[in-house]
Each structure stands twice: as C-alpha cells, then as structure tokens.
Amino acid sequence: MAASKESTTTTASRCTPKTAQVKHIFEGTGYRLLKGIGVCESIVSAPFTVGGYDWYIRYCPDGDDGYEDYASIFLVLMIETTTKVRVLYDFRLLIPDTGVSSSVRAASYMFSVECPTTATADFMKRSELEASFVRDVRFVIECDLTVILGASVSKSVSTGRPYADGEAVDRPGSKLRAALVMVFRT
C-alpha cells in the first residue's frame, strides 16, 4: 500500500533591510602643498549626512603612525551615539586618464561610541597613489556609504493552498500564476 502524502498549509514572510545610501566625492587640489604636512596630520571633507547621521572623511597624505609610506583614510561618525550604526563603505579613487573610479577599500563596519572611526591606515602606498591617481596636483576620493537602518519583516501570510512534499511554494505578492490558472479554467 502506498504511503499517503500529508499536506500542510504554508505561510511565508519576507525580511527586507532598510538602508540609506550616499556617494560623497572629496576632491583634493594642490596635492604638492598638502603632502608633507606630517604623519597623523589630516585634511577633512565637509560633513555629509547619511541615514540621519553626520559623517566626514579624514585623509592623511603622509600616513598614520607606523604607515608613513602610505596615504591613510578614515570614515568618521561625527556624533556620539548610544546605538551601534552598521555601515557598508567603499573608498574609491578616480583614475584621471579614464574618469572612472577604482575601488581601493570596501568593507562593513560597526560604529559605536567606543569605535567612532574606521581604521584604514594602509589605504594605499603613497608612491602608487601619486603615480596613478594624482594629476595636475588633483586627486578625487569617492566614498560610497550605505547605512543599515534595520530590517522590516512582512506580516506572515498564507499562500492560500496546502503544501505537499515536492510542490513549489507560491511566494507572497506573486498572484500572476493563480490568475492565469483561473483564466484557463474558465
């Protein structure tokens, strides 16, 4: 005797992250005048807002402690917050000959009151930066920043039919299949 397949009703829900995204462009001119300001000394971008938080880019042309042969770059959260702020960031440099930017450092980071800044002391060898990305004493840093604001979960909904092993599950919001079945049955 063949075993009967038991069926159960299927429900589904969906989790969707809420994000805010910005691309901030930080242009440095007079590069020869900026370099030589000293290790750990920096220039900063104008503040920009993403996800309700204020940020700025801190650029050290002569590097950070222990990274004197590098240019260092940092993303800084300007205000102290009691909550943690999770971000995805991508520091890019504009290639002057093509006008296209190239990703140098992409990562995720959790900002907090204890950690209000990223640490990218070894951003790029200064000699490579000067050879490839500085033209006519100008360089351009792009920062693509995504702030994760949380996630929303849709209400659990019934797919409206039983589910048995081996059957496909209708997904929430996908009414096309059911509508086509109804059309062809009539």
Q: Taking 70 as the threshold, does the pLDDT of residue 163 lie above it?
A: no
Q: Taking 70 as the threshold, does the pLDDT of residue 183 lie above it?
A: no
Kindly list the structural domains of the chain, giving each domain's residue range(s) and its CATH number in brackets, ordered by start: 16-151 (2.60.210.10)
How is the chain split among helix, strand and coil, in percent rounded to 5? Answer: 10, 50, 40
Q: Which residue has better confidence, 1 or 5? A: 5
- Mean pLDDT of the chain, nearest integer: 84
pTM above 0.85, yes or no: no
pLDDT band at 120 (very low <50, low <70, confident <90, very high): confident
> What are the contacts of 49-52 at 24+ separation with CB within 8 A?
49/22, 50/20, 50/21, 50/22, 50/145, 50/146, 50/147, 51/19, 51/20, 51/85, 51/147, 51/149, 52/20, 52/147, 52/149
Q: What integer pLDDT is reported at residue 186 of this predicted model? A: 46
